[in-house]
Amino acid sequence: MTQKYNHQAIEKKWQKYWDENKTWETKTDSRKKQYVLDMFPYPSAEGLHVGHPEGYTASDIVSRYLRMKGFNVLHPMGWDAFGLPAENYAIKTGTHPIITTKQNIDNMRKQIKSLGFSYDWSREVVTSDSDYYKWTQWIFVQLFKHGLAYEAEAPINWCPSCKTGLANEEVIKGTCERCSTKVGKKQIKQWLVKITDKKYIERLLNDLDRKELDWPENIKLLQKNWIGRSEGADVVFGIDGHDENIMVFTTRPDTLFGATYMVLAPEHPLVKKIVTKEKKIVVDKYIKQSENKSDLERTDLAKEKTGVFTGSYAINPVKNKKIPIWVADYVLVSYGTGAIMAVPAHDERDYEFAKKYQLPIIEVIKPPRVMPKMHPPMGSAAAWGMQDSDLEYKCWTGDGEMVNSDEYNGLDSQEFKKKITTRLEKNGQGHAAINYKLRDWLFSRQRYWGEPIPIIHCKKCGRVAVPEKDLPVKLPEVKKYQPTGTGESPLAAIKGWVNTKCPRCGGPAKRETNTMPQWAGSNWYWLRYCDPDNKKQIADQEKLKKWLPVDLYVGGAEHAVLHLLYARFIYKFLFDIGVVPKEVGDEPFVKLKNQGIILGEDNQKMSKSRGNVVNPDKVINEFGADSMRMYEMFMGPFEDSKPWSTQGIVGIKRFLDRVWLVIGEHIEKNQDELLKQKSSKAIHKTIKKVTEDINSFKFNTAISSMMEWFNARDWGMKLNKYGELEGEEFDLGAIKKFIVILSPFAPHLAEELWQKLGHKKSISCEPWPTYNEELIKEQEIVFVVQVNGKLRDNIKANAGASEEDVKKLALTSPKVSRYLSGEPKRIIFVKGKLINFVV
């Protein structure tokens, strides 16, 4: 009797075997390469979350599959170990982050290993190791030397709870990405990285559309919108009674005749100059009020707009007419020129503002006669399944025919846009302009647990980069690492470390005390996996040439504008300075896949407070790693969010237990009489389906088809007298093939069965089975075609043809179509037999 499957013992056994035999160590040889990368985790005290194995299992299945297809696969893992979560945890527990980080890594590594992933652990990287962050600092020095890292004093996003500055990308709906506290503003000296540099911004945008980039459309769109390129014009307005001008950025120069007032951002330097005596007190008060509002609060369409009149007037350059200048915080100082021409007839925010403050509204674009929106009479909305508010537009924001625009009346607004821009250029009143939403990347943190920024401040020489030979600048091991909240990092208090010599003049100097953000270590780590122990450079050029770019990158969609944008930028920079070899191109990740979120059993986001968190250790212990892996792949489409179900994993475990018992039994008992020789068509079909599904990330349907095959027991093979399974093909019986295609999903079980079959080598050395297209070809059979139950024709179609296919074929027959006019009321379809049109 075959013993019940003991997942605990068998899984441990194979994990040990793989470790000892270095089964997953990447060898350098001439096979074609594939680089399969997971977003590395940060070592959290909570350990692994059930969401982690979702992506890791998918990438593991693909890696194992590709190895069996004959590729040389690089599949590494490491730790994003610096940053706020680690530091906050250390502060909470009172244990130094050096210690807690190590503990957390050890624990998570053990957890990850217990799932049997085929990582090459010999290439593990830890971003908080000085051997690693030496190169993170080196990259910063290169950015600095190329003028792409600079220090500036500017109001920045400030999280009062994390007591640090944040990049724009880290502010989610006005709150801190880490702790959800409302983000304020603070004026301090900061390091910024010039991601908006002309050399990069258009590439970051346009390269997203490269053919070879196989990324989800939504992620590309999120990045494009974040970069936010707008084409339009800068237009100059004179100020009545002043020498100065106001420059505005507009995407709609075609609405210039409709500009009835102007708005300056409260921080705009001109405000102080043009405000009249009478208005000064009100305006100053208004400016003070808007200081503490976030950009989001200021620009939110749903929030009521506020503003005050400055007392001064500008001149509309095409109409030579005075229009009032207002100050309002719905205009941001950081975008465009920090000033706008307001066109209430064609811009919603301006419209609401004008209504509120009774400013004139002049229509200059007539909507096309055929409205894009449906326009039933007011009050009848319900009949159209709409609400009254859906019917009306407040102001027309689309294109149309020019009106109230002097000699341009009657022109199409698009055409006029070009004309007016040319006219403004000719008269020195403006020019075509492009603006981006993307801002430079705030790169300094006032926290302890990060890479020290390798800069030395010298009174005489200014900011001097730490020479390469002195890298890494090690993070000093201090007792007090709590954030100070003063805008300085805790490092500032360590006088012995701060005070140093200027590398240029030898005079007394001070070290930069800010540290880098967590993204610094994660935006180049996949290069280091190619050559993790290199002491002389980031990685050897030949090795980078061999492995880059990453062929498949798997991780969460939440990184769309954070990690993935930074990573692309740094990679392009490293490409430009010759670190990334020319041959591999300047896009790091060819194919990107995002896993969906795994919800709690109650369909809610998993959280401690809801008590719906599933503990992966418990699941692995109770059901086994193979069940956990298979279940997470079986839950539903990879990209979808889906709820956990204990019932579901029980089902998967039952399936694997049956595979073990049934196949194991046959192997042991030589029950050849039970295994009648049959056509192996079914296994060929299954191999084809599983192969295609792995390639298209449809793991759930791959698993279904394996289940279907197994349950049908259509095995077409038998055991020979040596107790080996044998099919009509000389080496692999159907069962053998089945075990091989199951192995990327349930590797422990597959290895054990493989060994039972007498094999001495790991199943991972087996080639991926091929399938015979000829065998799978569907047989053609005759379908009966009826109209209202009366036989009208017989047609030939594949036995497995769908209703849709048979319908299409049937409709081409004149004997049938003559009885049909328009769509039939109903169709009765019997697979492999009949189609009946009811009319």
**What residues line the site for ligand ANZ (CB under 6 A)?**
230, 249-252, 255, 265, 331-332, 335-336, 338, 340-341, 343, 346-347, 435
What count of Cα atoms within 13 Å lies in the side-chain half-sphere of residue 276?
14
The least CB distance from residue 496 to Zn ion, in Å, is 20
Decide whether 457 or 756 has the Cβ nearer to Zn ion.
Answer: 457
From ligand ANZ, Zn ion, none, interface partner of 461 (C-beta below 5 to 8 A by class): Zn ion
Closest CB to Zn ion among residues 319, 504: 504
Torsion sign across C-alpha atoms 619, 623, 626, 629:
negative
Comparison of 297 and 488: residue with beta carbon closer to ligand ANZ:
297
Measured CA to CA, the distance from residue 598 to residue 616 in angstroms comes to: 12
Contact positions toward Zn ion, by CB under 5 A?
Answer: 458, 460-461, 502, 504-505, 507
CA distance 718 to 666: 9
Return the ∠ at Cα 134 (arms to 462 and 592), rounded to 5°. 110
In the complex, least distance from residue 464 CB atom to Zn ion, rounded to whole angstroms: 6
Q: Smallest distance, Å, CB 255 to ligand ANZ?
A: 4
Q: Which is nearer to Zn ion, 507 or 758 (CB)?
A: 507
Query: Judged by CB, which is closer to Zn ion: 469, or 535?
Result: 469
Residue 685: other Cβ atoms inside 10 A: 20
* Residue 610: how many other CB atoms lie within 10 Å: 11
* Distance of closest approach, residue 234 Cβ to ligand ANZ, in angstroms: 10
CA–CA dist 437, 491 (Å, integer): 33
Q: Which does 502 bind (CB under 5 to 8 A by kind): Zn ion, ligand ANZ, none?
A: Zn ion
To the nearest whole angstrom, how small is the minimum distance from the Cβ of residue 235 to ligand ANZ? Answer: 9
Token pair in block for residue 330: 């719905």
Q: How far is the CB of 456 from Zn ion (least distance, A)?
A: 8
Q: Give the up-direction half-sphere exposure of residue 193: CA atoms within 13 A in the CB hemisphere.
A: 25
Q: Which is nearer to ligand ANZ, 328 or 516 (CB)?
A: 328
Which of the listed partners (Zn ion, ligand ANZ, none) does 504 bind, with a CB threshold of 5 to 8 Å by partner kind? Zn ion
The SS3 call for residue 389 is helix
| Six-digit token string for 829 | 């379809």
Q: What token pair was written down for 293?
A: 């509002």
State the minimum distance, in angstroms, from the CB of residue 421 to Zn ion.
49
The candidate with the shortest Cα–Cα distance to 102, out of 89, 120, 121, is 89
C-beta closer to Zn ion: residue 84 or 458: 458
278 in helix, strand or coil? Answer: helix
Which of the choices ligand ANZ, Zn ion, none does residue 458 contact, using the CB cut-off of 5 to 8 A by kind?
Answer: Zn ion
Query: How many Å apart are CA 381 and CA 400, to the nearest integer?
Result: 25
Q: Strand 780-787 relative to strand 834-838: parallel, antiparallel, unpaired? A: parallel
Q: Where are the strands (E) in 443-562, listed by range?
A: 455-458, 462-465, 499-501, 508-511, 550-556
Task: Give the nearer residue to ligand ANZ in terms of CB position, either 62 or 265.
Answer: 265
| Residue 327 partner contact from Zn ion, ligand ANZ, none using kind-dependent CB cut-offs of 5 to 8 Å | none
Quick one: what does residue 2 bind among Zn ion, ligand ANZ, none, with the CB cut-off 5 to 8 Å set by partner type? Answer: none
CB of 560 to ligand ANZ, least distance (A): 19
Cα–Cα distance, 615 to 510 (Å, whole number): 48
CA–CA dist 105, 97 (Å, integer): 12
Burial classification of residue 436, based on how many CB atoms lie within 10 Å of its CB (0-12 exposed, 13-18 middle, 19 or more buried): middle
Under DSSP, is residue 271 helix (H, G, I), strand (E, B) or coil? helix
Question: What's the min distance (Å) between Cβ of 614 and ligand ANZ?
Answer: 42
Out of Zn ion, ligand ANZ, none, which partner does residue 323 contact, by CB within 5 to 8 A per kind? none
Q: Which is nearer to ligand ANZ, 339 or 466 (CB)?
A: 339
Least separation in angstroms between residue 462's CB and Zn ion is 8
Distance CA 7, CA 1 (A): 17
Q: Is the dihedral of CA 526, 527, 530, 531 positive or negative?
A: negative
Q: For the CB of residue 256, give the shortest distance to ligand ANZ in the complex, in Å.
A: 8
Nearer to Zn ion, 361 or 461 (CB): 461
- Nearer to ligand ANZ by Cβ, of 326 and 837: the residue is 326
> What amino acid is encoded at 231 in this protein?
E
Residue 790, φ and ψ in degrees, nearest 5: -100, 135
